[in-house]
Every structure is written in structure tokens, then in C-alpha cells.
Chain A
Amino acid sequence: MSTYDRSMALTGQPPKELNRNQKIATLIGLFGLAIILLTAFNVDFPNKSIWLSISLASITIGILWFSWDMYSQKEPGIKNDGVWFKSISSKGFWGWIAGISLTSFYIILYFFPEYLGLVQKGNNTGVIGLFDPLSRALSGNPASQWFVYGTLYTVAILAFGIKFIWKYRHNRYERIRTMSVMFFQTAFAFIIPELMARLNGSSVLNGGSLPYYDLKNMWPLNYYNFEGYRIKGFLSSGDIGFALLIFGILSVFVISPILTYKYGKRWYCSWVCGCGGLAETAGDSFRQLSDKTVKAWKIERWVVHSVVVFVTLMTTAVIYSYLGNDTSKYWLTKSTFLIGVGVLLTSVFTLVMIFKREQFQKDAKYGAVGYLVIILALIGFHFFSGEGQVFLFKSETLRKSYSFLIGSIFSGVIGTGFYPIFGNRVWCRFGCPMAAILGFQQRLFSKFRITTNGGQCISCGNCSTYCEMGIDVRAYAQKGENIVRSSCVGCGICSAVCPRGVLKLENGPLQGRIDSNQVLLGNDVDLMTLVNKK
């Protein structure tokens, strides 16, 4: 163990002191945040547009200047020197301060937006008031706490995205991937939905209303997509709305599986997704903090799959609750819907068990059977018990508790707030139902894998340490085994930090992808035959 002291300085141990440029950059960035903080205490700035611009600009410039000073003077290459000496990136004092501040911000954002200046009827004040001019310029509406959050989120992804690109400028995969993440956040998550909201009520839509819709954000990540008010929104907006509804369904059942088959989960999780985008850019400094123990892995598998079951159940209940029984009014009745869901789940389960059974571990098999039985039992239970409650709960209770527990607490407060403590992909790893479904497809049906280069691994552990999803990559690499894990998001960092060039993200033939012999080249063939003969 190294014997250096861990000081409380932001600068960490030698040679990690901030130089003068970095100190000035930090100051500029904090000045931008200070403006926002002042508005939170109801300091009223006269010209909001100008002060908002100054604030966002100085945050951005601070981050960019700092990164430029850190990386531009160095040779292109891996830049992890001193990561574990810095207090902020090694769960030191500043790591905890950052974690606590972020978490508090999320709690206020999700549960007490009035402290940020949200006024239901009338003009916003405080922070939200500061963002009003930008919101009006984009969508024509006053800002909400989600608009404030969305703006800061986008600024973070853009500024830290540039930092990431500088850091990995020798690596073309990382550069292109980061540009993709930055694009999808800015265009799809931020600007397009605002503009779509602007179209509301316009003649194009014949007076209907289009829901605020981030096109790349699909069910079950946006668990609310098939709720009554959304469906009404879609259907009231004529052809465009109907097209969006169809797109929402297709993206879950057709588009996403095809893309996952071809490219694995990374087509979404580290190229498109907003949560992934923040994790990869602003969260990059914390990727080494994810827990790699076998224990963490066991917890992860159970938690993330339980969330999928929960979201499936909840969505079924919600859709069910607004369908009717009269076949002449509804083309889809409550009963047909429930039968449909039952048939779909059973057939997916049956197909997997028939064709991919040998790829499941024992506990996963029990889990799958268990979950299927629970869901079918609940559906059946309801089906035969008639009206009233949906399942054992009211659908509204189910939706509310999901939205509170998973949608707010998990994805926001813990998932992002705890970046500096648990690493940057806590949500993606333990909580995201979308990641779990894509992971399931990736594990069983995709062409994607991480290939290990023969016998070249030296078990150094860089890959495992820097895996944000907590996969013990080294455990596979040192055996010469392909890495086909459902949790892998394809960020490519394991391959980047490997000092021996052992790992490669690859789309290849399905044959031999999972049960590939563990090939450690080096010994002559006779010995390897023996070793493989277990």
C-alpha cells in the first residue's frame, strides 16, 4: 500500500496541486455557479438573459480552461496519473462534499422545486426565474425545474464531453462516441422536445397537443410513455402524434432489438442515452469507484432484474386501468390486453428457455422462472377476479411508488448524486430497466463481445479498475475468454487503458461467441487441449 498521506486539499498529493491556470479556471467556473446560487436566495438580477448567459458561459469556460490546461500540454495517451491520490476522485473529503452537494441538489429538484423558485400560477422567481428567458426563447413557455435541470445537464455533457475528448484524443473510438453522446443530448433530449412543445396548438396539429417527447428515450426508461395522459396527447395530435405512438412501440419491440443484435447495448447505453451521456462525460472522473466484488455483482443482478419486473407489472397495470371492457368502443379491451401481455411474456420466456437455456446460470434460471410465475399469477388472479383493484394494488399506487422509488430516488438522487462515492454508473448498473432488457438481449442474441487477445494479458487490473459497470474484466482476460456480459455498456475504456492491447470491442459471428474455449496462447496445442478438457 502506498504510504502517502491523504490531505483534505482539493489538490491532492504531489504532483497533483492545481497550478495557477487551473485555480483561475476553477474560480471562473464557481463564479457561474455562484450566480445561480445567489438567485436561489432570491437575489434578483435585473437583466435575466444577460446574467443567465454570463453564468452558463463562465461554467463552460471554467471547465474548458481547466481541461485544456490539464491535457493539452501532455502527450496524447492515458491520463490516469494520480487519480487515486486526488481527494475528489478517491472518495476523499472533496469526493464526499461533492456527493452530498449533488444529492441535496437532487432532493430539492425532485421534491421541493418551490425552493428553486417554481411558482404554479404567476411568474417564476429564483433559479427557475433566471432560466425563464431561455425557456421562452425555445418553447415559448416559462421555465420549470426540469428545464433548469435539462439546461445544466446539457451544459455539463457538452463541456465535460470536450474535456473527455481532450483526455482521450489519441483514441478515435472515444472521440466519436463522445460526439455522439453530445449530439443526442443537445438535439434529441434538449432542443427538439422544446421545439415540439412550441408546435403545440399550432395549425399543424389541428389544435391537439403533442407530449414533450424525447424520441430516443424509450420504454421502460421512460416508464410513463404509455400512460393515459400521454396516449391521449399522442392521439389528440393527429397523424404526427399517432406516428410518434407507433414509433414508441416499434422502438421497444423492433428497432432496439435489431440494433442490439448488431451492435450490442452500446448502441444505446454509451452512444445515445442521456443518463449514459452524463455518466461518460461529467461522471468520467468517478468511473474507477464502481464496486467490482462478486458480492456487488450478485446484488446488481437481482436488483436490476427486479426493477424490470416491477416496471413491466406497473405499465401493464397502468395501461389496463384506462382500457375499457366494451368491444364496440375499444379495439383493445382489458381482457385482450392482459391475455396479450401474458402470451408475449410466456413466448419470450419459452423461446429463451428452448434456445438459450444452457447460457443461463442456475440462479438466473430460477429467477426467471420465479418472475414469470409471479407476473402470470398476478395477471391470472386479476383476470378471474373481475373488476376493482388492479392486481393487488391500485395502478395509481403502483405508478406513484415506482415513480418515487425508481424514477426519482434511484435514477436521480442515488444514481447521479452519489457519482463521487459509488461511481458514475450506479443507476445504469443497478437500477435502469432499459439497460437490463438491452443487457438480456446483448447476452443472449447479440453479435457484440469484447475479445481477449490470445495470451497477452498480464493481469494488471487497469481494465477492471476503470470499468464503470463494475465488471471484473481482468477475470475473463487472464483466462483468454470472450467477455459477454449483459451489463457491459461498450464504453471502450477497458480496451483504451489496457497497456498490452489485449481487449477489443468487436461484432462478430454468434458461433463460439459465448462458449468459446478459454484460449491462452503460448503453450503448445497439446497442453491447451488438456486444459480445456476440464
Chain B
Amino acid sequence: MENIVIIGNGIAGISAARHIRKLSDKRIIIVSAETDYFFSRTALMYVYMGHMKFDHIQPYENWFWEKNNIELVRAYVNHVDTEKKQLLLDGSRALQYDKLILATGSKPNKFGWPGQDLHGVQGLYSKQDLDLLEVNAPNKDVCKRAVIVGGGLIGIELAEMLRSRDIPVTFLVRENSFWNGVLPSGESKMINEHILEHHIDLRLGTNLKEIVSDENGSVKSVIIAETGEELPCDMVGLTAGVTPNIDFLKDSGIELGRGIKVNRFLETNIKDIYAIGDCAEQHEAIGNRRPIEAVWYTGRMMGETVAQTICGNKLEYKPGHWFNSAKFLDIEYQTYGWVFSERGKKDYEEHFHWRHSSEKICITIAFNKENNRFLGINTFGIRMRHEIFDRWLTEKRDVDYVIEHLSDANFDPEFYKHYEQEVVSKYNSDFGKSIALKKKSLKRIFQIN
């Protein structure tokens, strides 16, 4: 029987395993040094915040793996011997494979800051990082101030986590507005305001110069590059993005770039070795996507795709329309299609932006100004129906159609206030149109004839 070994038990590796099991009875072995069982990495924050216990973020009960005949091995892979088709585990044991799936994920970026390896300095990615956070910042007495370096999704989540225990947080963001490399300015500005509402000391346009050590080799303070200001703190969170976790593959002969190089079938340069998830790097970016996508959803999709290939139905990785979501403190964010920030905006891309007069709610719709085609939507504080936007993008609808049928796309809970009428009015006045909002239709939503 064919021996499938998967390194990494994150969403990519586990999706691959589950789908291989659905399609075949091959022997499946998952190796992970991080935890015994699969857990939702994106939910680690809720364990620290006390919303859930660690057990709750494990999507399957512990008996699930044995019942489905998926073997779990808790070990660290030191080396991959592609000649002998063998892994070296924990420096001692060997494990044979017929096919190998690399799903090793990422590790937090460190950019060579002085003091970046001191006690009290950490990233937030793994279960071990969470355990470390309980040591570094258990409460506001032990951790009198925390400094977070890097203004992205993990940074704001870490800030929210620390604030849930009343720990004062200073948030150093290199950009002059939060996440404005990704978000258009109106949205980025709104999130800036929301961060301040949560009593987070947000420092925009600020870089870290140095982390200063005390006599015990622990963090004492950080020094800010621009002003030379020294901020006393007990914990520093490094959240300036992640890089693929591939150091152990350096001498294996597997082609590496920033990540593990794969083709559209998720195959590496070596036969029978595949890479998926955060650690995989496409030779050429797919559409507007980046060559490496450290996103939950793409990890899941790659896992499903590679399972097909391994089970004899060779399949190209063809992610559909881009989508993503996040939550910034209390504001939910969803995106469908492409809406670029001012920095990444295409020549043909024009934006329509609407923001509520008092609530933290806004949407931005991107469209092609040459042919009016709808390109994508960002929503903050309004939930939208994924299927509807996926359909509209596939059908290449124009922006007027989208605005006219916006009620169909609303996914907010019942009785919530609706803002479509306001959005339509703003659109009409911005672009000199006279579109009338259509009433929500279950027939259209569920495509009933």
C-alpha cells in the first residue's frame, strides 16, 4: 500500500489528509512537532482571551484520527533524503515515504533588529508562541507594557489579545496608516480610528530601531528609529509578516525560493514530493495573487487539490475568485474579488467608497473605469454573501448591476439595519447615475426558476 507522509498538521496538511482518505485507503502519516492534534491556528487568539479553551479550537474530536485511519506522529523532521525517500525524525528515527507532502507553514519574520532574540521578544504563529505569551504577558502586573512591531493582521490580533487582559499596548506601524499597503485609504483610516478607540497607543510611520536588554537578557525597552524615544516595556511582539518554514530542506535538493517552489500541480522539482499551504511558492503568480499566499483558505484549497492529484486524478491548482476575511477588534472585514490599495491600484481601477456617517461601517467597490466591469468589494461591518459575489464575478457583471442588486448580497443577521439605499444614493451622486435599488429576491439569491 502506498505510504503518504504529510509534514505539518495545519489546515493545508489536514485538508490533504482528509481528502486523500475520502478518495482512497492509502496509508496516511502526518508528522508534526507542534501539537498532537490539528487545531485552528487562526483561533489561537481566543484561547488567550479566554473565549475558548485549547480543546475547543480543535475541530475534530481526538478519536477522529484513529477512526479514519490517519496516523499521527509527533516529531520534528530534521532532514529529507529524497534519494532514499526517507525522513529523519528527531535526529534518530527514519520514516519511509512513497509520496511526501510538505505543509510546514510559516514562521514570524525577523529583520535583524538588535535585541530580536531577547527573552520577552516573540512572534505569534504557533502553539508554542501562545504558550510563550502566557509566560511573557500573563497579566498587566507582569507585563506593564507591550510593544507590537508590524502593522498587519497578526499585529492587530495580538494587540486585541493583550488589551483583553488590560495590558497597555504600543503598536508600531511602519506605514503612515494601518495596513494601507492592502486597504484603500478610507478603510485604513477607519481602522486607525477604531484602534485608538480601544485604547491602543498606535504609532503610525514609526520604525523599530533597537530592543534594549536588561541585565538578565530580557526586554527592558524599545527605541524608536524616527524619534529616538525609549519606551520601557516587558514584552515585544514581532508581527511583521511571516516567511515559509523551510530551513530543514536547505540541503535536500528540493528547489527553494523564499518558499518551496511548486508548479501548478503543486509538485516540487523532485518526483513524488508536493508542497502546499503557507510554505509553497508558485513559479509564477496566479492572476493577481502573490506567489506565496499565507492564507487559511488557500491552504485548504491546496490540500483538497493535491489530494486529487495523489489519488490519481491529476489536477491543476486553480483557485477561483479571490476572497478573504478578518476581524479588526470589533469590525468584521470581508473581501471578494480584487480591491487594491492606492499603492497597488491598477491603471484601469476606480473605486467607489461609502462610509456610514457615525458607525464604523464602510464598503469600497472596485471597477474597471474603461468598461465598467465590477472587480471586487471590501466590506467593513456589513456581511456579504460569498456565493453572490462569486457568481457576479464569474458572470462579469458591471458595477451598475452590482449596485442595483446589492440587497441580494447582504448577509447580515435578521433585523439588522440595511444601508443599501444610502450606498446607492452615494453612488448615484458620485457618478451622476440614477440607479434604483432592487428589492431583495430569494428567487435570484437561490437561483430558483
Chain A residues with a Cβ under 8 A of chain B:
1-4, 13-16, 75-78, 80-86, 170-173, 176, 288, 293-294, 453-456, 458-462, 464-465, 474-475, 478, 492, 495-497, 499-501, 504-506, 508-509, 511-512, 519-527, 530-531, 534
Contacts and interface: CB of A to CB of B under 8 A. Distances in A.
A280 B54 CA distance: 25
Given A84-B50, A462-B43, A14 B165 contact: yes
Contacts of B297: 455-456, 522
Given A456-B323, A458-B42, A523-B319, A2 B49 contact: no
A469 to B, nearest CB: 16
A81 B56 contact: no
30 contacts: A2-B48, A3-B131, A16-B50, A80-B50, A81-B49, A82-B164, A172-B415, A173-B413, A288-B52, A454-B385, A455-B297, A461-B56, A462-B52, A464-B56, A465-B51, A492-B413, A492-B414, A499-B332, A500-B325, A500-B334, A501-B384, A506-B414, A508-B442, A508-B445, A522-B297, A522-B300, A526-B318, A527-B304, A527-B315, A531-B304
A512 B446 contact: yes
Interface size class of B (residues with CB under 8 A): 35 or more
A97 B394 CA distance: 58
B11 interface: yes
Contacts of B197: 75
B150 to A, nearest CB: 21
Contact of A15 (B135, B139, B321, B385): B139
A524 B393 CA distance: 12
Contact of B415 (A14, A83, A176): A176
Contacts of B135: 3
A85 B139 CA distance: 12
Given A86-B50, A521-B390, 18 more contacts: A3-B131, A4-B138, A14-B139, A75-B197, A171-B413, A288-B52, A456-B386, A461-B43, A462-B52, A499-B327, A501-B384, A501-B411, A505-B414, A509-B442, A519-B387, A521-B321, A522-B300, A530-B313
B99 interface: no
Given A455-B323, A456-B386, A523-B304, A504 B43 contact: no
B46 to A, nearest CB: 7
B318 A524 contact: yes
Contacts of B384: 501
Interface in B29-60: 40, 42-43, 46-54, 56-59
Given A475-B59, A505-B414, A75 B390 contact: no
A456 B325 contact: yes
Interface string B285-324: 0000000000011101100110010000101001111010
Q: Is the interface of A mostly helix, strand, loop or mixed?
A: loop
A521 B336 CA distance: 11
B329 interface: yes
B346 interface: no
B166 A525 contact: no
Contacts of B414: 173, 492, 505-506
B247 interface: no
Contacts of A459: 11, 40, 42-43, 59
B390 A454 contact: yes
Given A172-B416, A461-B43, A455 B386 contact: yes
B43 A454 contact: no
Interface string B1-13: 0000000000100
A174 to B, nearest CB: 8
A495 to B, nearest CB: 5
A504 B413 CA distance: 6
Contact of A524 (B59, B319, B326): B319
B76 to A, nearest CB: 20
Q: Which 3 pairs between the two chains have the least Cβ-Cβ distance?
A: A454-B386, A77-B330, A14-B139
B327 A500 contact: yes
A495 B414 CA distance: 10
Given A170-B330, A460-B42, A501 B47 contact: no
Contact of B22 (A171, A525, A534): A534
B283 interface: no
Contact of A460 (B46, B50, B140, B412): B46
Given A293-B61, A509-B446, A511-B446, A458 B305 contact: no
B141 to A, nearest CB: 7
- The listed residue with most B CB atoms (<10 A of its CB), out of A14, A458, A474, A530, is A458
A504 B140 CA distance: 37
B323 A522 contact: yes
Contacts of B52: 84, 288, 461-462, 465
A294 B308 contact: no
A85 to B, nearest CB: 5
Contacts of A85: 50
A380 to B, nearest CB: 43
B411 A453 contact: yes
Contacts of A508: 442, 445-446
A501 to B, nearest CB: 4
B198 interface: yes
A490 to B, nearest CB: 10
Contacts of B329: 75, 77
Interface in B416-449: 416-417, 442, 445-446, 448
A495 B59 contact: no
A15 B140 contact: yes
A80 B390 CA distance: 33
A523 B301 contact: yes
Nearest to B443: A509
A453 B198 CA distance: 29
Nearest to A84: B50
Given A82-B50, A460-B43, A512-B446, A465 B56 contact: yes
A495 B49 CA distance: 19
Contacts of A497: 51
B107 interface: no
A75 B360 CA distance: 11
A84 B53 contact: yes
Contacts of B79: none
A15 B390 CA distance: 43
Nearest to B386: A454
B19 interface: yes
B318 A523 contact: yes
Nearest to B447: A512
B144 interface: no
B138 A496 contact: no
B383 interface: yes
Contacts of B138: 4, 14
B134 interface: yes
Contacts of B325: 456, 458, 500-501
A530 B309 CA distance: 12
A454 B387 contact: yes
A369 B108 CA distance: 58
A78 B19 CA distance: 34
A125 B218 CA distance: 67
A107 to B, nearest CB: 31
Contacts of B313: 530
